Amino acid sequence: PPARNTDGIQSWIARFLNEMGFSIDKWDVYPGDPNVVGLLKGTDAADYHSLIINGHVDVAEVKEDEDWEHAPFHPIEKNGFLIGRGASDMKGGMACLLFAVKLIREAGIELPGDLILQSVIGEEVGEAGTLECCKRGYRADFAVVADTSDMHIQGQGGVITGWIEIKSSQTFHDGTRRNMIHAGGGTFGASAIEKMAKIIAGLGELERHWSIMKSYPGFKPGTNTINPAVIEGGRHAAFIADECRLWITVHFYPNETHDQVAAEIEDYINRLSDSDIWLRENRPVFKWGGSSMIEDRGEIFPALEVDPGHPGVSALTVSHEKVK
């Protein structure tokens, strides 16, 4: 992605589900990239729980320097494993969902509750096909996402991306730098890039504080991270950098919200700015999230906690034990 080329596989999945008796909802999230949702109405839906099974059809890109033994999009079998780009993440999971549906229908099993299968796009690059299903009104009492997993019942951490922007109220020529950094220069100015470096150091301090003070069962210590991913700044070598932008990616635990985490970062950086004479007058600006990492260059992935005692989790656990 964003190749915008999933219509072929999504049309195939829509036809498959239709043949299995599902009603089909297929719509473009982006041109050439549709979501497909199939609904199999239950025989007694009013009195029984509904279930969503979900998977994505996009895969990670293949870079030129990747050392593939065979062409990545021509799968092969090796030592009992299927090898190819997306075999695990997550064409294999999608195949399992579709095969389960096929077995249920071939066995003549009538489900009392509604079954909703969601085949979504954009999950590899933060384009949130699943979120678009939610916005379209699809809900259920329980959901199973057949993506890769280590089979722990522990919930899902969240991710938020955002920009921190610094912009000087004035633009200075490179020749004035001496007046900014030496005694008696008399020019109140600074490089936005150098000030952003101070903010990056502050983010590192906050990240270390989080790793010490926060934890969540089943997650490795320090899973909550603040990554300074992309930096942009300056206009030309002949000028003092009058603006700088930092794109950060923040991972947080299942019991936190993106609003809470963003507020903690803003509070910490604002306190740091209070201690800096220039940043007090040229305050950092924060912009969080968006609907696509590609088009908006920002995204929010909410965290969620999973109750180990939930009836759906219990049923899934018992079923897994039987099959295993």
Residues with catalytic function: 58, 123
CA torsion 77→81→87→92, rounded to 10°?
120
Strand partners, 117: 38, 53
Q: Which residue has the tokens 């678009």?
A: 132
Q: How many residues are present in the chain?
A: 324
C-alpha 215/C-alpha 191 separation (Å) is 37
192: left (phi over 0), alpha (psi -120 to 50) or beta: alpha
DSSP 238: T
Angstrom distances, CA of residue 92 to CA of 83, 306, 310 = 11, 24, 27
AA letter at 88: S
* Nearest by Cα to 247 from 301, 303, 286: 286
Q: Which two tokens stand for residue 92?
A: 């294999």
C-alpha 113/C-alpha 217 separation (Å) is 33
141, with CB counted inside 10 A (0-12, 13-18, 19+), is middle
Note whether 146 and 55 are within 8 A (CB): yes
C-alpha 155/C-alpha 137 separation (Å) is 23
DSSP 109: P
